[in-house]
Chain A
Amino acid sequence: MVIYGVYIVNKSGGLIFNLDHNLPKIETEKTFSYPLDINLEYEPKRISVSFGQRDGINVGHHLISVNGIMVNGGTLEDGRDVKEIIESKDNYPLTLKFSRPKMTTNEKIFLASMFYPLFAIASQLSPEPKSSGIEILEADTFKLHCFQTLTGVKFMIFAENLQAGVDVLLRRIYELYADYVLKNPFYSLEMPIRCELFDTNLQALLDQVEKGGVASI
């Protein structure tokens, strides 16, 4: 029973809440000698592995530190250029740490707003009239469940493929939203949700589901 995240999108398509619940964190640190046996791709904002996957360092992972010093874009925290360090033989052995890329808040907002037109297109593509939009989107490693309320707010849950009863959970989250977000006089409609009570109650609900299954709520 794993739930990876909860997203709420308002009726104009903006992301107003997101929670990463149980994303496994993958970080691998390894000492390399010259020449480096994996191919790195240097982009302005990040350095990622493009080829040569080994020891838990997979294609697509990002370089996050060199000899324990954090990497910030293309440079180290102390200002040295990462590409120069990695390409010069004198610096070896080098300890490099890679991790699975984390989504930034901006990327999340972008992707969540992207789902909005997909949902609308799906309902138009439907061969049957009066179809709803996407309710479940299934992939190899996760399933996205979406519930749209009559007022147009979308609640999304990313969960493990086998997770059952997510629709019940979605409706419970809707209740929490009605209780702790909308009854909060300091919350303005359609704006990002920053309500501590909602956070704690949602967290408690998700923990309960993971422990006891959906039947326990």
Chain B
Amino acid sequence: MSRQSSRLDTKKVNSELLTLTYGALVSQMLRDFENVDDVNKQLDRIGFNMGLRLIEDFLARTGSGRCLDMRETADKIQLAFRMYLNVQPTISNWAASADEFSLIFDTNPLTEFVELPADYQQLRYSSILCGCIRGALEMVQLEVQCWFSQDQLKGDATTEIRVKFVRRLEDAVPAGED
């Protein structure tokens, strides 16, 4: 997605390419590990490592500042989904303490052509997204938990990712901002 000439013209690819590449990755991992739990874990880890790097791209491109509450963070995550996956999740189901919210997807581009076979019901197919959110937020000194509470692949009406604030990583805050 690098820019050659102007900063706003980003290279676009067809989302089907991403969908199919991701599908190839998951099916290869199922073959390699044979254990669905391991695949879930690895997908989350891959996502985490992607998030660590992707956050810099997001910050460089949007120039956004530091979030000081979870609502701001939710807005930024929503913006990021629009930038990188071209879907706009709805933010809802705020916990009363305002530290937990849901991202609700009508469509999930990663699962566009996917049906889950009966023996893979434990597979969290898109768990790379959770890892990604966790990794990206960790780089800006926010520790969160992130999981799928509903999944269209498993027959739910929508796909829902829950994000829960755990704590601010105080010792990692860069000098000049603490």
Complex-state Cα separation, A171 to B59, whole angstroms: 10
B66 & A150 in contact (Cβ 8 Å cutoff): yes
| Chain A residues whose C-beta falls within 8 Å of the C-beta of B60 in the assembled complex | 149, 171, 174-175, 177-178
Query: Shortest distance in angstroms between B22's beta carbon and chain A's nearest beta carbon?
Result: 16
Contact code string A142-156 (vs B, CB < 8 Å = 1, else 0): 000000111111000
Closest to A118 in B: B175
B2 & A179 in contact (Cβ 8 Å cutoff): yes
A175-B3 in contact given A119-B176, A120-B175, A182-B57 (Cβ < 8 Å) = yes
Among A148, A172, A182, which residue has its beta carbon within 8 angstroms of that of B56? A182
A149 & B175 in contact (Cβ 8 Å cutoff): no
Query: Shortest distance in angstroms between B28's beta carbon and chain A's nearest beta carbon?
Result: 17
Listed residue (B1, B59, B61, B175) with the most chain A CB atoms within 10 angstroms of its CB:
B175
Closest to A217 in B: B7
B59 & A183 in contact (Cβ 8 Å cutoff): no
A178 & B176 in contact (Cβ 8 Å cutoff): no
**B1-60 with Cβ < 8 A to chain A:** 1-3, 7, 52-57, 59-60
Question: Chain B: how many interface residues by the 8 Å CB criterion?
Answer: 23
B57 & A178 in contact (Cβ 8 Å cutoff): yes
Cβ of A14 < 8 Å from any Cβ of B?
A: no
Among A123, A171, A177, A179, which residue has its beta carbon within 8 angstroms of that of B3? A179
Query: Shortest distance in angstroms between A63's beta carbon and chain B's nearest beta carbon?
Result: 41
A133-B140 in contact given A150-B66, A151-B55, A171-B60 (Cβ < 8 Å) = no
Contact code string A122-138 (vs B, CB < 8 Å = 1, else 0): 11000000111100000
Query: Shortest distance in angstroms between A217's beta carbon and chain B's nearest beta carbon?
Result: 8
A175 & B174 in contact (Cβ 8 Å cutoff): no
A148 & B174 in contact (Cβ 8 Å cutoff): yes
B175 & A183 in contact (Cβ 8 Å cutoff): no
| Chain A residues whose C-beta falls within 8 Å of the C-beta of B87 in the assembled complex | none
B53 & A131 in contact (Cβ 8 Å cutoff): no
Listed residue (A133, A151, A153, A189) with the most chain B CB atoms within 10 angstroms of its CB:
A151
Among B61, B140, B172, B175, which residue has its beta carbon within 8 angstroms of that of A123? B175
**B94-146 with Cβ < 8 A to chain A:** 139-140
Among A123, A153, A171, A179, which residue has its beta carbon within 8 angstroms of that of B176? A123
Cβ of B63 < 8 Å from any Cβ of A?
A: yes
Contact code string B165-178 (vs A, CB < 8 Å = 1, else 0): 00000001011110
| Chain A residues whose C-beta falls within 8 Å of the C-beta of B7 in the assembled complex | 172, 175
Subset of 30 A-B contacts with CB under 8 Å: A11-B172, A11-B174, A119-B175, A130-B177, A133-B175, A148-B176, A149-B60, A150-B59, A150-B140, A150-B174, A151-B56, A151-B59, A152-B172, A152-B174, A153-B56, A171-B60, A171-B63, A174-B59, A175-B3, A175-B60, A175-B61, A177-B56, A177-B60, A178-B59, A179-B2, A179-B57, A180-B2, A183-B2, A183-B53, A189-B53
Closest 3 pairs between A and B when the two form their complex, measured CB to CB: A120-B175, A133-B176, A152-B174
